[in-house]
Amino acid sequence: MAGREDAEFIVNFTCGTKIMSIAVYEFFKDYVSRMIYIPIPKNEYIIPFPKKAFTPPEPLPLRLTVPQYLAAYGLKVTNMPRLEEYKREAAARGGIAAYVVDNYVRLKPLLGFLGERLRKHRDDREYDFSIGFDEATEEERGFFSLMEIAYDGKTIRKKLSRSETGFLTGGWLEEFCFNEVLKIAAVDDSVIGLKLMNKQGRDNEFDVMFTKDNTLYFIECKSLDQNDDKKTDALYKIGALQKEFGLRVQSFMVTTSPHVLKDGKLSPAVRARAEQFNTTVVLQEEVPKLAEKLIERINRSHA
């Protein structure tokens, strides 16, 4: 502070504890200071001091992109150069992803069949895939046609790119969710396949993230039956990660897993855990209307 006594200080004590806010006020009150407070989730600030001079709330016109929001919390995007490519690929396959969701029940055996055989090749730059496949259904033939997978009635074959292999091993659900986000008016920014490094040097990958009115939303996708996560530990991951993203964060788990159900509905145990982590769970039959679910949550969070 030495040599800056005559400067004007703008002091934001929105995100501190009460004791921290009091301490900041006591320190800066004798300087030329403007104290501001942002009443989350509103995009405006108020000037609470001096008490006798009321000023109306001032709007905050700035809207953050996903990387900007994350940088504010000391989080580094490690695959920034690839994000635009991922967006283009997801948008180009939007119709195929929608076809999978619309025909999920009939395509589920095929998706499981492909996933089991391709998962170990997800990191291959290219993979010449060829395997016997008899008596394809109408929906399966439609899927092969959309994916440009050759099928002669006995064998399916295609030289798969890394991106296509990822799509066939679960990426279809992530790309569907991303394209549903694109349907929402006035979303400020959206990304798919983002990789992050936190301040402790730990890496995490996120399926879909977007910002709307300076609130961060992220979607965790779980395709097929998720037999390796019957206890839905993914919700604990979501809860842990939320702590790194500040107060303006909303989360979703989109899942086709039957293990979250009891008597055809979201089980009370999973519901309680989701509420604990402020996470909206979107079930398999609700996935086609994901955009509506997202808009409902956005409106509720900004009410």
Q: What is the pLDDT of residues 228-243, one digit of tens each?
A: 888 888 899 898 888 8
pLDDT at 288 over 90: yes
Q: What is the pLDDT of residues 247-275, one digit of tens each?
A: 789 999 999 999 999 999 999 999 999 99
pTM for the complete prediction?
Answer: 0.89
Contact assessment for residue 107 and residue 98, using Cβ atoms and an 8 Å cutoff: no
Mean of the pLDDT values across residues 12-34? Answer: 77
Please give the residue that has the higher pLDDT: either 142 or 34. Answer: 142
Measured CA to CA in angstroms, residue 260 lies from 30, 228, 231, 277, 281 at distances of 57, 13, 8, 16, 9
Average pLDDT, the chain: 91
Q: What is the pLDDT of residue 34?
A: 81
Q: Is 3 a member of any domain? A: no
| 2 or 246: which leads in pLDDT | 246
pLDDT of residue 5: 60
Interval 146-197: pLDDT, tens: 999 999 999 999 999 999 999 999 999 999 999 999 999 889 999 999 999 9
The least confident of 41-45, 105-109, 296-300 is: 41-45
**168, 186, 212: which is the final residue of a domain?**
168
Q: How many domains does the chain have?
A: 3
- Residues 116 and 184 reside in one and the same domain: no
Q: Assess whether 297 and 225 both reside in one domain.
A: yes
pLDDT at residue number 275: 94
Q: Is the pLDDT of residue 37 over 90?
A: no
30 is a domain residue? yes
Whole-number Å distance between alpha carbons of 204 and 178: 18
Domain with 254, as residue range(s), is: 66-88+170-301
User: What distance separates the 2 farthest-apart alpha carbons in the chain?
Assistant: 82
Whether residue 82 is found in the same domain as residue 215: yes
Q: What is the pLDDT of residues 191-219, one digit of tens each?
A: 999 999 988 888 899 999 999 999 999 99
Mean pLDDT, range 112-130, rounded to an integer: 97
pLDDT value for 4: 59
pLDDT band at 120; cut points 50, 70, 90: very high
Q: Which has more pLDDT, 21 or 296?
A: 296
> Cα Rg for the chain, rounded, in angstroms?
24
Phi, psi of 4 (to 5 degrees): -120, 20
Residue 188 shares a structural domain with residue 100: no
- Looking at residue 47, its pLDDT comes to 85
Mean pLDDT of 107-131: 97
Query: Domain check: are 45 and 84 in the same one?
Result: no
Burial (Cβ within 10 Å: 0-12, 13-18, ≥19) of residue 151: middle
Same domain, 153 and 225: no
82 found inside a domain: yes
- One-letter amino acid identity for 110? L
Query: So what's the pLDDT on residue 15?
Result: 67
Residues 6 or more apart in contact with residue 12 via CB below 8 angstroms:
36, 37, 38, 45
**CA proximity to 259, closest of 287, 281, 289:** 281
One domain, residues 139 and 183: no
Are β-strands 215-222 and 249-255 bridged in parallel, bridged antiparallel, or unpaired?
A: parallel
Helices within the chain (DSSP H only): 18-28, 66-72, 83-92, 94-102, 104-118, 138-147, 162-166, 172-182, 234-242, 268-276, 290-301
Q: What is the pLDDT of residue 206?
A: 94
- Examine residue 1 and state whether it is found in any structural domain, yes or no: no
In a domain, 207, yes or no: yes
Residues 122 and 251 in one domain: no
Q: Do residue 154 and residue 233 come from a single domain?
A: no
Mean pLDDT over 293-303 rounds to 87
Nearest Cα to Cα of residue 63 among 211, 248, 245: 211
Stretch 61-79: mean pLDDT: 92
